[in-house]
Amino acid sequence: MWNKCLNTFSLILLTLLLSAPASANDEPVVYSSGAELFGIPFNDLSKEKFEEHLAKIGLEPYPSYREGIANYSLGASGILGIKELTVIYNRYQYVERATMSGVVESAELRAKLGHLLEGKYGPPSIGFVRDGYGRARWMLSDGTEIELRNTTFDVSVSYIDHVPRRASASGRIDVEALLRRSQ
């Protein structure tokens, strides 16, 4: 008797679940598998391509006296309140790290920043984002990482390429050059 009631209940529950209309929330959420900065993929991003893209959107570097580092102003109001971009290039002219930072006093803008990153990249791999605020890291499958520091007015978002492209040898041996070298 008990088994018959349990089977009937299971059948009714299964029928209700299958006949329930699917809502928009039932669709799987797809997050980005690679970091994008200003609309271009961040993985293996060359200095030439990055600077060309930044020039198209009206950003020009201001003088930096350290080799391999470029600084940009993101305007008087910035991007969600963040007003500075610092880019570090490796010796092969590929981006290793790009950090946007600034003092953001608007709680609304700070919350939007956290929500934007969480909406694009999903829940963080390390750390937390609550109501848009937090300290978090997203480790992405393309070898890039995004780090958010948004617990005080001093806010930063860092894009990191752990294995930026490097110049590689051609694989060919120049026998004549070796012969000249040995003489």
Per-residue pLDDT in tens (0 to 9) along the chain, 183 residues: 433 333 333 333 223 223 333 444 567 778 888 999 999 999 999 999 999 999 999 888 888 888 899 999 998 888 999 999 999 999 999 999 999 999 999 999 999 999 999 999 999 999 999 999 999 999 999 989 999 999 999 999 999 998 877 766 655 666 666 666 666
Structure tokens at 35: 């970091």
Distance CA 43, CA 178 (A): 36
The pTM for the full model equals 0.75
Residue 86 phi/psi, 5-degree rounding, is: -120, 125
- Helices (H), strands (E): how many in the chain? 4, 10
Residue 151 CA neighbour count, 13 Å, CB half = 8
pLDDT of residue 77: 86
Dist CA 135 CA 155 (whole Å): 10
Q: What is the pLDDT of residue 13?
A: 29
pLDDT at 176 (0 to 100): 64
Q: Is the dihedral of CA 34, 40, 42, 45 positive or negative?
A: positive
3-state helix, strand, coil in the chain (%, to 5): 30, 30, 40
